[in-house]
Structure 1
């Protein structure tokens, strides 16, 4: 019997550091996903063209990191599911741990991955514009870089990270639900599809209100409050669900 009693914070710290080393491959997959989304974005997000009476034609293409952010949100959602799998939980047996410490370490890892993923997605937007400017048929370009509009840059960065945290928590909750009962592997997609179809056909106003509540908030502060509150609820629900498992395996 060990005479050294470790505190919860010490256990969580060790597990968190272990997960950072063990899941380096996750960040490699993030780079691959963002590279693919960059390729899809090379043609521009939207394009508008107009002609003049003198025969001149002007085409305006808009380049942004929107698609990169969307792909990264999918990546962090899948990462949230991945970290709840049985194989990953077996790794925690190398530590003197419990469900709470494992969940806290997982959440810290997902928060770290969200920050890295969000920052990388926003930065990829600048890389996209550079590629388009040097290799595309662009005569004149405008953009909101850090030097041109630092406030907009940091707002976009914060919003991207908040989106990643929200989708990471949703993925973690989804993964935990599946671990509680494997039948949800089939029930969840059916349930989600049914809700989407119902809202899209029978109750468009409610669907619009839900989307506007999360995705159409003009105030960064209110957006942060909403996303962090929802993320906290999702993470808390995941911890509660993990306690319903008979054994931590």
Structure 2
């Protein structure tokens, strides 16, 4: 028996470092997701045009990182689910660990992945503008950049990271629910689809209120509070569910 007693922080640190090495493929897949979303974004998110009797016509195309951010949110959501699978949980048994340390290491990994994914999504958005500027026939362009508007740039990065944390925590909770009972593999999509249909048909006001609460907050500070509180609740719920799962035999 070892005479060295490891603290919880030491165990979490070792598990976190192990997960960062073991899940390198997650970040490689993120690059693939960004490349695919970049291709989808080359056509622009919307466009408009006008012409006059003198023969002058103006076409306006709008390019943004919205599609890239959405693809990245899907990626981090799936990552949150994958990290709860049985094979991943069994990897933690290579350490002298408990469920608390495993959950904390998972949360730290997801927070790191969220920060990297959110920041990268915004940067790929700027790469999109550079590609479009050189490949398309553009006479005039406008937009924010790191050098031209650093405040807007860092607000965009912060907001993207907060979205990633929120969806990572939701994915982690979804994965834990599925691990508790496999029937939720089929039940959760059905419940989500049914709820979405109910909101879209029977209660549009509630749907708009939910959307505005999460996606239409104008204050970054208030949005940060909302996102972090919801994420903390989702992570806490995941930890509670993990304590109800059977131990490894």
1:1-249 superposed matches below 5 A: 1-248=1-248
SS at 2:58's partner residue? strand
Q: What SS does the corresponding residue of 1:44 show, helix, strand or coil?
A: coil
Q: How many residues align?
A: 249
1-side partners of 2:246 and 2:115: how far apart? 33
Secondary structure at the counterpart of residue 59 of structure 1? strand
Whether contact under 8 Å (1:99, 1:248) holds in the other structure is no
CA contact (8 A) 1:47 1:61 kept: yes
Q: 2:71, 2:246 → 1: CA distance?
A: 35
Task: Output the CA distance in 1 between the equivalents of 2:174 and 2:181.
Answer: 11
Structure 2: distance between partners of 1:217 and 1:248: 44
The CA deviation at 1:12 is 0.1
**Secondary structure at the residue paired with 2:185?**
helix
Query: How far off its partner does 1:248 sit?
Result: 4.8
Equivalent-residue separation in structure 2 for 1:58 and 1:124 (angstroms):
27
Asked if the contact 1:84/1:179 (under 8 Å) is kept, the reply is: yes
Stretches of structure 2 lacking an aligned partner (at least 5 in a row): none
Task: Give a deviation string over 1:88-130, Cα, whole Å, max 9, x none.
Answer: 1111111000000000000000000000000000000110000
CA separation in 2, counterparts of 1:89 and 1:81?
12
Runs of 4+ in 1 over 2 A off after TM superposition: none
SS of residue in 2 equivalent to 1:155? helix
Instruction: Tell me, in whole angstroms, the C-alpha distance in 2 between the residues paired with 1:116 and 1:59.
Output: 35
* Deviation digits for residues 109-154 of structure 1 (CA, Å, limit 9, x no counterpart): 0000000000000000110000000011112211100111111111
Distance in 2 separating the partners of 1:48 and 1:83: 43
